[in-house]
Amino acid sequence: MTTSLVLGPMMRYVDETSASIWVETRSDSRVTVRAGHGTWEARTFAVHGHHYALVEADGIEPGSVLPYTLEIDGAQVWPDPASGFPPPVIATLKPGKPLRMAYGSCRTSVPHDESGNRTHGVDSLRAYALAMASGHGTANGTELPDMVAFLGDQVYADSTSEQMQQFIRARRDIDEPPGEELKDYEEYAHLYNLAWSDPANRWLLSTLPSAMIFDDHDIRDDWNASLTWKKGMEATSWWHGRIVAGLSSYWVYQHLGNLSPQERATDTIWQLIAGHGDEAELDLSAELDRFADRADQDPVSYRWSFCRDFGDTRLIVVDSRAARNLAPDDRALLDHEEMAWLDGRMRGGFRHLLVATSLPFLLPMGLHHVESWNEAISEGAWGKRPARAGEKLRQAVDLEHWAAFQKSFRQVADMAAEVADGKRGPSPETVTFLSGDVHFSYVAEVERSSGSRILQAVCSPIRNPLPRLMRYFGAISAYGLASPVGALVARSARVPDPPFRWKRVKGPWFNNNLASLEVAPEGLRLWWQTGVVDDVDELHPRLETVASLTVASRRENTGRLSGRGFDRLNHRRAARS
């Protein structure tokens, strides 16, 4: 492969008639995409010495599957004929086709050899890529999904690999703050290269559309956990450079590709690119840094969340990190503007409403109670001294999910219930929260006797498993006696009971996973897959299904959900009635 292509191409936003292809190039250049009878071009823009282009291929027939080539300054650079992978394609959406998508979170960037697999497990995304490329496909066939949603921690800026640390040491003293953590844009660019340059993953991402949202490790562990946390970071010598580099690189590498052509047209940074012309390359470095600083200091100045409709299914992707209000008297996981935006999109009239948020909305109830209790005492329910202890505990064990922002949790819970009860338009079959973050996977369901089903389906990690001891601790703290004990603890801090109850119906499991869902005639089908190494062939893992279930509509199937866990739940309901 020629060195003029640094990273990509990555297939990003795709609809019925257009596709956005993202690339990083070696230098100032013109990028061309050719597919079928169409040709589309874009000039690169520069950020801190790196060069990028987003090519919009438009005017394509709906439901097309077109092999494409990529050229840089007239020379073809993709696909690589020697790669052994199938030709990449532009696959526009077919009107009326039910949504099929993959999702997951938490993926570390370490080598795919025996050592990397021993410490971090097999990369589920890579196993999925190899299965698709070889034609063996998934449990549900060889067809690629319509998209993959990466729900946070695409890169780890605060917990770096040996390869990343070698790069850092080559350019600065790693004993000076921030040490082994990322410092600036150049280091973020290298980390993204490590994350996305493996040949199998690179092929998959060149043909499978992707959407992304950050979580804390894209910036730093516990990012925006509390006002105390943020003040502590801002008092360091390096945090300002880190947050500016993290958000500016996120806009370039992740967020830009989330936007539809219409959304890009209203984006303030993209307007600079689109209005520049192509006589010379635009250097966005200074403007993008100012934008990132402003987005951090004034979260309402920019929205990272986005919403997409796929026929009868709506997908809302929610920023649960940057949009927080940390003021003690108005503490919220989503500030007023962001909550209003979400409120406007939590509507019925769809067969399925999917709400993707990196942090699980419905934690195991034991953990939910503990986090709500911790928020109360950290904010002064038991006085100043317990508040300081609560803050230390909050940061030490990551007690900063939706449950730790009770006002926001209850607002969104009310929205979900209203959608499910048909108060916001015709009720869908399900309101399903898709999440990651916690490094174990599970499915939970709200206990309801009528209306839509409200579910939580977690897939975490793609590649970053918990140590075994922490798995046991997590299972014990989340389930069993944790729920009633947690409820008592929460009540001791005068935390009101949740507006509804929910039960675990499948899981937890701790494998590296990539989850998939499909809108099928019988209901919403979900399955989780992991990579398994056979015969010590570390580089060619096979794909194995870990769990699967089908969530059937109450209206069509009298409440029966497939899977033994769901059957047990229904038996208990029948016994109570």
**DSSP track, 310-350:** ETTEEEEEE--STT-B--GGG-BSS-HHHHHHHHHH---SS
Angle between helices 482-492 and 365-378 (to 10 degrees): 20
Report the C-alpha gap between 430 and 30 in whole angstroms.
Answer: 45
Helix (H) or strand (E) holding 91: strand 89-91
pLDDT at 28: 97
pLDDT at 553: 81
Find out whether 353 and 432 touch, Cβ atoms under 8 Å.
yes
Residues in the chain: 577
DSSP state of 501: -
pLDDT at 234: 97
Find out whether 528 and 545 touch, Cβ atoms under 8 Å.
yes
Mean pLDDT of the chain: 91
pLDDT at 3: 81
CA Rg value for the chain: 23
Residue listed under structure tokens 């769809």: 350
- Chain CA centroid to CA 461, Å: 11
In the beta sheet, which residues pair with residue 52?
24, 45
Residue listed under structure tokens 């969340």: 305
In three-state secondary structure terms, 450 is coil
pLDDT at 555: 61
pLDDT at 473: 66
What are the structure tokens assigned to 548, written together? 């699967």
Q: Could you say which residues of the chain have pLDDT below 70? A: 1-2, 136-142, 472-483, 555-577
- Tell me if the bond preceding 299 is cis, omega within 30° of 0: no
Find out whether 319 and 304 touch, Cβ atoms under 8 Å.
yes
What are the structure tokens assigned to 92, written together? 């526009």
Among the listed residues 558, 307, 311, the one whose alpha carbon sits nearest the alpha carbon of residue 453: 558
What are the structure tokens assigned to 85, written together? 């992978």
- Nearby residues of 448 by Cβ (< 8 Å), 6 or more positions away: 420, 454, 500
Find out whether 318 and 173 touch, Cβ atoms under 8 Å.
no
Residue 159, phi then psi, degrees to nearest 5: -135, 85
- Chain CA centroid to CA 424, Å: 27
Residue listed under structure tokens 């990132």: 292
pLDDT at 574: 36
Helix (H) or strand (E) holding 441: strand 441-446
pLDDT at 571: 37
